[in-house]
């Protein structure tokens, strides 16, 4: 069977090749109706975009680098799912690397992404982001060191309000693990008082501690099975918004704030218990 070409798509839609090319790239100069007609024709005929040729003409590879602190962590799947949901819609791919908190590790991961000519980087690692003169679009997830194009952060004020509302005036005791998800909640601790609400962040309490109540903070996939009040780290939303923000920076369009804040609600309690 002969390979379907852009000329075939042009004949099917009764437009010229230049219009087909622009429509397949999502060029806003082409009307939405024409873009949809072109994509339908391409799908019908089995036309596949030549990503190499498109990259040469647009100076983009349509590949995003994603750097994570540890690929074995439980939240990684949800985070990457959020990223992929956005990239798939824009017909882009991701290249995933791991970088621990060592400077050499982070620089190595970053350089390998630069060598692959990625269009931008999502940095979700504790390691300092090695931004330099390359000027590549970037998003840092969290408060890590570096000077990115954009940051995606937890909405500390909103999350703290939810926890305080759950405590209902009781003193709070914070107990964080080696890698807490909400370290800022330690600031809510009531020093010198008997704890009324215990926050377990990044560490699981014993069965006895669970029976006494408290709030467990961490990854949704682990906490959902505990059947106790929990505060899940919004991994999917963090990944989803990081990808959306980065694409806007790469393509120089849409909303491009310096910071995007993401909240998280407490699961396993009645909404009235939180005052709303």
Q: Which two tokens stand for residue 30?
A: 């082409």
Within the chain, all domains assigned CATH 3.40.50.2300 are found at 59-154+235-262
Within the chain, all domains assigned CATH 1.10.260.40 are found at 6-49
Positive or negative: CA dihedral 235, 241, 247, 252:
negative
Question: CA 107, CA 105: separation in Å to the nearest integer?
Answer: 6
Backbone Cα Rg of the chain: 23
C-alpha of 42 from chain center: 30
Quote the pLDDT of residue 56. 42
Question: Which CATH architecture is the domain 6-49 placed in?
Answer: Orthogonal Bundle (1.10)
Question: CA 8, CA 150: separation in Å to the nearest integer?
Answer: 41
CA distances to 118, 120, 146, 257, 259 from 152, rounded to whole Å, are: 20, 15, 13, 10, 6
Nearest-CA neighbor of 187 among 201, 203, 207, 208? 201
Quote the pLDDT of residue 210. 67
Average pLDDT per block of 10 residues along the chain, 276 residues long:
81 89 78 86 79 53 93 94 93 91 80 91 90 80 91 96 90 90 92 74 80 82 81 96 94 85 84 40
Question: CA 237, CA 174: separation in Å to the nearest integer?
Answer: 25
Quote the pLDDT of residue 126. 86
Is the Cβ–Cβ distance between 153 and 143 less than 8 Å? yes
Quote the pLDDT of residue 27. 74
Is the Cβ–Cβ distance between 22 and 53 less than 8 Å? no
Question: CA 9, CA 37: separation in Å to the nearest integer?
Answer: 10
Positive or negative: CA dihedral 180, 186, 191, 196:
negative
Nearest-CA neighbor of 229 among 201, 192, 267? 267
CA distances to 166, 169, 197, 265, 270 from 276, rounded to whole Å, are: 11, 16, 20, 12, 10
Q: Which fold has domain 59-154+235-262?
A: Rossmann fold (3.40.50)
């Amino acid at each position: 069977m002969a390979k379907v070409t852009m000329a075939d798509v042009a004949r099917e839609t009764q437009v010229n090749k230049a219009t087909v090319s622009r429509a397949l790239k999502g060029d806003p100069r082409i009307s939405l109706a024409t873009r949809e007609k072109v994509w339908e024709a391409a799908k019908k005929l089995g036309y596949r975009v030549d990503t190499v040729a498109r990259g040469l003409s647009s100076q983009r590879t349509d590949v995003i680098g994603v750097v994570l602190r540890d690929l074995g962590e439980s939240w990684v799947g949800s985070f990457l799912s959020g990223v992929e949901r956005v990239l798939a819609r824009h017909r882009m791919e991701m290249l995933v690397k791991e970088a621990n908190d060592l400077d050499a590790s982070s620089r190595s991961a970053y350089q390998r992404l630069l060598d692959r000519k990625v269009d931008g980087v999502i940095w979700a690692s504790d390691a300092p982001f090695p931004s330099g003169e390359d000027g590549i679009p970037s998003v840092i997830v969290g408060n890590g060191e570096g000077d990115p194009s954009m940051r995606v952060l937890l909405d500390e004020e909103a999350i703290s309000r939810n926890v305080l509302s759950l405590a209902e005036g009781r003193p709070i005791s914070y107990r964080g693990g080696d890698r807490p998800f909400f370290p800022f909640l330690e600031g809510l601790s009531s020093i010198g008082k008997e704890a009324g609400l215990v926050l377990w962040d990044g560490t699981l309490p014993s069965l006895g501690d669970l029976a006494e109540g408290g709030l467990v903070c961490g990854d949704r996939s682990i906490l959902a099975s505990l059947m106790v009040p929990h505060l899940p780290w919004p991994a999917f939303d963090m990944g989803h918004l990081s990808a959306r923000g980065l694409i806007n920076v790469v393509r120089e369009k849409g909303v491009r704030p310096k910071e995007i804040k993401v909240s998280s609600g407490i699961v396993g309690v009645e909404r009235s218990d939180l005052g709303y």
